[in-house]
Amino acid sequence: MPRYAYVNGRYLPHAQAAVHIEDRGYQFADGVYEVVPVYQGALVDEGPHLDRLERSLGELRIAMPVARATLELISHELMRRNDLTQGMLYMQVTRGVAPRDHRFPATARPALVMTTRQTKPHGEALVTQGIKVITVPDIRWRRCDIKSTALLPNVLAKQQAAEAGAYEAWQVDGEGYVTEGSSTNAWIVNAEGKVVTRDASHAILNGITRITLLKQIREAGFELEERAFTLEEAKAAREAFLTSSTSFVLPVVAIDETPVGNGHPGILCGKLRAGYLDYMASLEDRPGGMA
């Protein structure tokens, strides 16, 4: 069965799907994207992901390429065509195709691309042994709340992590506070047992996994602080973990080779991960279903 991609109104075999060389996404990274996880056949938090897409577009003054209901229809149709049960749906919207000029084009129409990727659940070792992170200076622009396709600092940070044998790079701002990972949000459980994660601002991408987990943490009654924490505090923490649409909740056991807590995945992190997986398994937004 061929794998399809959606490109500006057409479902095309993935290998033949292409955009114009003067698409502003290609030339200026003038666009935004979303990654929606798919778990046991269901889209996870589709509504909040589309809310964030609309917000990112609004901040950049790019119009929605199609109505929101149409976006949902295309998502479900692409999942159906690709028989997607586990993995992710990727959507990208750019300001469109126009002769190269920094100024907004007068006539270009926003361009929409969607792809899916089937992935296996990540190896149990990541969960049972935990992962390492390194740290890098946060050299990004000051609107990290916009999910822009301009990801060079994130690409460089993730590559540096990979070359150091680490899963992720936590970015640290000029004052010594951790902002977030290159593609994940950063969390600690501090010495007093409080869960701490950076507050949502222009300094981080407000992860959808982050938002869902915050709700679950509040509902479970765990102590929580949304504030910046220093790298020093993170290294002295009892536990650390990260969240994202593709990693879910993963325990961090070392930061720059300094073991976190006893160097093993934390108990609270384990509970939060289990709770998050239960939540995903309970979702019913399956293509062709009523949701």
> Which residue out of 147, 158, 215, 271 is catalytically annotated?
147
> Nearest CA to 279 among 206, 213, 218?
213
| Window contacting ligand PMP (CB under 6 A); options: 19-27, 112-120, 191-199, 206-214 | 206-214
Report 229-248 residues binding ligand PMP (CB under 6 A).
Answer: 243-245
Q: According to CB under 6 A, which one of 138, 168, 180, 285 is a site residue for ligand PMP?
A: 180
Q: Indicate whether 184 belongs to the interface with ligand PMP (CB under 6 A).
A: yes
Q: Indicate whether 38 belongs to the interface with ligand PMP (CB under 6 A).
A: no
Using an 8 Å Cβ cutoff, are 37 and 55 in contact? no
Q: According to CB under 6 A, which one of 35, 113, 134, 169 is a site residue for ligand PMP?
A: 35
Bridge partners for 93 per DSSP:
32, 112
| Window contacting ligand PMP (CB under 6 A); options: 20-28, 67-75, 204-212, 260-268 | 204-212
Q: Indicate whether 205 belongs to the interface with ligand PMP (CB under 6 A).
A: yes
| Window contacting ligand PMP (CB under 6 A); options: 84-92, 106-114, 202-210, 280-288 | 202-210
Active site residue 120: no
In the complex with ligand PMP, which residue's Cβ is closer, 97 or 240? 240
Q: Min. distance of Cβ 27 from ligand PMP in angstroms?
A: 22
| Count of residues engaged in binding ligand PMP, rule: CB under 6 A | 14
Neighbouring C-beta atoms of residue 93, cutoff 10 Å: 27
Q: Indicate whether 8 belongs to the interface with ligand PMP (CB under 6 A).
A: no
Q: Indicate whether 135 belongs to the interface with ligand PMP (CB under 6 A).
A: no
In the complex with ligand PMP, which residue's Cβ is closer, 159 or 262? 159
Q: Known catalytic residues?
A: 147
Residues that bind ligand PMP (CB under 6 A): 35, 154, 180, 183-185, 205, 207-210, 243-245
